[in-house]
Structure 1
């Protein structure tokens, strides 16, 4: 039983009720009482507040063969909107979602200049447009979360972004000053992990998400919370050494994992001896279908080194679920079975290794989900998934 002062208990109960309403989609007051173990009086008082705040709406259940039709509660999805932004090399992805995490619109804006001031201006201009678009709703834009492909401190300052060569910049403060509202920064891999937990893996509080695109990142949800480390920089697992004395990495080490198992490195090796027009996943897919030995050998090495790193990560963190986010790995025949066969350690314990169903959208979806979580003050969300959320 939760104990504490009345306002604290009310806050906890409110979060619990909102969480179950979102999770179930539609639910009656009686069922809410059963699931949450809260009294009907508590449910009624809390729901009355939520209805007055227009966060919850009532509908009558259409099909009920016995007795009076129950009144169902659901979240008012259009009461406000969350903006997620993925700031990556060459482009920024913007996703606007409703309060259930359902995407309303997605936009990719090319980044023509990598100068800090130019990127800030691009972000400010786009955020302003989305703020205007949301102004007619009850709560407008409820939150803005920006994904950073680099080191973000616990205070949300940027320590280093290798792709832009940013060091020690306060993007959060600069954006907030320009747009007039709170902006939150988070590491991209953490947001991918948050998306996997919020949209897909509702029954675990210990989840790792390994992203394999330009580098290798590790997002960690442990005991239902981000695992950040001392200053917020935990998860730079791509710079774990898997080949001592191996290929030089931009970080200064030799033989880093991302030099052998990130998509960028693998594709660079495959395409090195190919014509200039051989540069996309569709070309790789055709080569796999044709049984190209060079491509298949490179993919075998990819799976081999990926498995080495996953073995290390699993033994370090003992996760329940490991999600791998990689467009290239989805193209490898029997990829997960091959990974399983190479995890031989008797001390490696996990329940599931799976491929992300969201792909590259996971980061920006996680940004929207985190904005919703902060607005509703519900730390652990279980948002509805749908086919339109996948790549």
Structure 2
């Protein structure tokens, strides 16, 4: 986050961020309503609205209903003022989206990955980003930034410290992409990005405390506490896929044994040998739809193991909501019942009271959209603020 001193410039940034977020959530909305929702005085709201409109970030859409006197002019956030690219790097696939400033998808791209060496993956990522950039409609700001979600630990400088499923160690990905593309780039763990996507645009919009579980080639979790992403003391929180659920279990590439993701992610497909007709979740879903018994049984087994790990996290964090995202969320028809049954049986009673388990509204796109949001939030203003939900 950008460091700024506690002067009037900071106050103005905070107020501008509050007004933008309030209008995005409640539009169409009048200046008077913005003032009431935020607690900012009408003069401050009017001045900043005028400034934001001059910068093409807000637009007036005409008069609303009058409560007596002159009809108020209603405001909209201009989501088409610019566009962002969001990319998710997985073990076997790379996917990307072009979104407007409200997270609406304009274009998509995907690419299969066989080789995982840094140079080839980076070059293919750059090619995908450039392809998506060329598809952006004309707008006042054009491409405002790029966000990337990766399956590993990332530091504050956008360096991928450790991505065991890719075999990456100390890769300065943000620096490399910014040098090549000439645009601001944000890099984060893919589960953190997915949590942001669901919090801002998906199933988590009504929650202040949630766990986002990304289940695909591995497992990660994004932790939202009081409406903010929790990253831990050094920024590495959420590596829940590497918590042990079998004390003397299978060896993991991270150096541990019995890791959750060995039993509850796509890694488990290899253990089935020829009994599964495919090794990709999208293909297995088609077989399950056709009634392939072994595929259905394996999805149910994945649901059981997912439920065991989720129980541990729920007992530790007491969230309002648990959201399951990533590629395996598309198999919810076979995973969901078993998962929820295990959590219901094993979770402490008061922890599960009023807690909901949901599947990602954005489906397998949560991380891409969340990565794009990270770029958007940097463009609109890096000051983090909390805005009332009602």
Displacement over 6 Å in runs of 4+: 62-67
1:273-314, CA deviations, whole angstroms, 9 ceiling, x for partnerless residues?
Answer: 3557995211123336xxx3x555544433332222112111
RMSD over equivalenced CA pairs, Å: 2.7
Whole-Å separation in 2 of the counterparts to 1:61 and 1:268: 61
| Cα offset, 1:85, TM superposition | 0.9
Which of 280, 284, 287 is matched with 2:288 structurally? 284
| Cα offset, 1:380, TM superposition | 6.0
Which of 40, 53, 70 is matched with 1:38 structurally? 40
| Cα offset, 1:133, TM superposition | 4.9
> Residue in 2 aligned with 1:143?
145
Asked if the contact 1:330/1:355 (under 8 Å) is kept, the reply is no
Taking structure 1 as the reference length, what is the TM-score of the superposition? 0.86
> Residue in 1 aligned with 2:305?
305
Whole-Å separation in 2 of the counterparts to 1:318 and 1:156: 30
> Residue in 2 aligned with 1:229?
232
Whole-Å separation in 1 of the counterparts to 2:181 and 2:24: 30
Structure 2 unmatched runs, 5+? 1-5
Please say if 1:363 is aligned against 2:367. Answer: yes
1:322-370, CA deviations, whole angstroms, 9 ceiling, x for partnerless residues?
Answer: 1112223333463454234323423535622211122210110111122
> Residue in 2 aligned with 1:243?
246
Which of 199, 209, 213 is matched with 1:210 structurally? 213
> Residue in 2 aligned with 1:261?
264
Asked if the contact 1:263/1:328 (under 8 Å) is kept, the reply is no
1:197-251, CA deviations, whole angstroms, 9 ceiling, x for partnerless residues?
Answer: 1013223222111111111111112233222223322211111111111222222
Whole-Å separation in 1 of the counterparts to 2:386 and 2:39: 19
> Residue in 1 aligned with 2:3?
none
Count of aligned residue pairs for this structure pair: 374
Whole-Å separation in 2 of the counterparts to 1:337 and 1:125: 41
| Cα offset, 1:87, TM superposition | 1.8
1:124-164, CA deviations, whole angstroms, 9 ceiling, x for partnerless residues?
Answer: 33334444555842112111111111121233211122343
Structure 1 unmatched runs, 5+? 383-391
> Residue in 2 aligned with 1:106?
108
What SS is found at the alignment partner of 2:128?
helix
Please say if 1:352 is aligned against 2:356. Answer: yes
Taking structure 2 as the reference length, what is the TM-score of the superposition? 0.86
1:77-98, CA deviations, whole angstroms, 9 ceiling, x for partnerless residues?
Answer: 2211111111223332121111
Asked if the contact 2:28/2:74 (under 8 Å) is kept, the reply is yes
> Residue in 1 aligned with 2:173?
171
Which of 177, 189, 192 is matched with 1:190 structurally? 192
Residue 133 to residue 311, structure 1, CA distance change in 2 (3 Å): closer
Whole-Å separation in 2 of the counterparts to 1:116 and 1:52: 43
Asked if the contact 2:304/2:338 (under 8 Å) is kept, the reply is no
Whole-Å separation in 1 of the counterparts to 2:73 and 2:331: 47
Residue 297 to residue 117, structure 1, CA distance change in 2 (3 Å): closer
Asked if the contact 1:315/1:347 (under 8 Å) is kept, the reply is no
Residue 271 to residue 130, structure 1, CA distance change in 2 (3 Å): same
